[in-house]
Amino acid sequence: MFTRISDIDRLFETMNLLQKRLDNLYGDYEKSSGYRWGFEQNTPRTNLYENGDNFEIRAEVPGLEKDDLNVKIQGNYLEISGQRKSDTPESYKTHKTERSSGSFSRSFTLSEDVDSTRVDATLKDGVLYLTLPKNEAVKPKKISIS
Amino acid sequence: MDRSQEITKQEEKNIEKTKKLYEVPPAVDIYENEEEILVYADMPGVVKDDISVDIDNGTLSISGVRKLSVNGSITYEEFSNVEYVRNFSVPQTIDVEKVEAELKNGVLQLHLPKSEAAKPRQIEIKTA
């Protein structure tokens, strides 16, 4: 049933989703536990929004410069990869390291093709914003009857 | 009407109440050398004006609110608007006047310099 570690991780994701729904439902009564099931991983958390002509993706990438990030698009396939440099200063004693470092890669399959020539990517305050216009060919078109 | 709708309806009725943000502790790195203690905290999406750093009575508290607007329908969401809150005890030897904070690419950097009295000092031995 579970052939890869990512299958198990997907199961955890489902649990997280359920937990979030419950948190929202009872949000007034109790605070979210904030606990996330799953493996400790350094892939950025991502949101996907859809509005009419565009997809919008947001990813949490604190501490990354724009040169540390790579975005690749092909049809409806999107890949965000990057490297987070460790900013451990020299000659300091370490007390705590909770922030992740190292390279990560995350890929998405969107529900529709994207016009890769008009993609807009912005990095602001540690959040990567991607605006992905849907391909003209897949947009609904009105056909006039002659 | 199922239970979730009922609760939603109640929420809508109660106009005065604003939805509280979840409090989340930011991930931090803490380093120390002879001169200072250095704290890095990940707070992606928080702008400078929404961060507060307080040192009071030996407690350092940092808090930052992330206010990102949503446009369009949510296909999925792994992070939402939160309030990053975390408290630390700092030793009395920190020179509170000289604490510096810097926000860069969603990472808050705090320099907590040690006071002169707390720095290690090499004592020269005099020969008689």
- Number of structural domains chain B divides into: 1
**C-alpha B70: how far from its chain's center?**
23
Residue B128 inside a domain? The answer is: no
State pLDDT tens for residues B29-41: 999 998 899 999 9
Nearest CA to B70 out of A65, A108, A48 is that of A48
Amino acid at B1: M
Give the tokens for residue B108: 């808050």
| pLDDT band per the 50, 70, 90 thresholds, residue A30 | very low
Q: Which helix (H) or strand (E) holds B54?
A: strand B51-56
Based on the domain organization, do A3 and A75 belong to the same domain? no
- pLDDT at residue A79, as a whole number: 92
- Report the alpha-carbon distance of residue A41 to residue A49 in Å, rounded: 23
Report how many helices (DSSP H) and strands (DSSP E) chain A contains, helices first. Answer: 1, 8
ipTM: 0.73
How many other CB atoms sit within 10 Å of the CB of residue A127?
22
Residue A7 has pLDDT above 90, yes or no: no
pLDDT on residue A59: 93
B102: contact with A, CB 8 A cutoff: no
Interface contact B91, partner A, CB < 8 A: no
Tell me which residue range forms the domain holding A54: 42-85+101-137
Provide, as residue numbers in chain A, all residues whose Cβ is less than 8 Å from the Cβ of B80. 47
For A86-140, the pLDDT digits (tens) are 878 888 999 888 888 888 888 889 888 888 888 899 999 999 999 999 887 766 6
- Would B125 be classed as within a structural domain? no
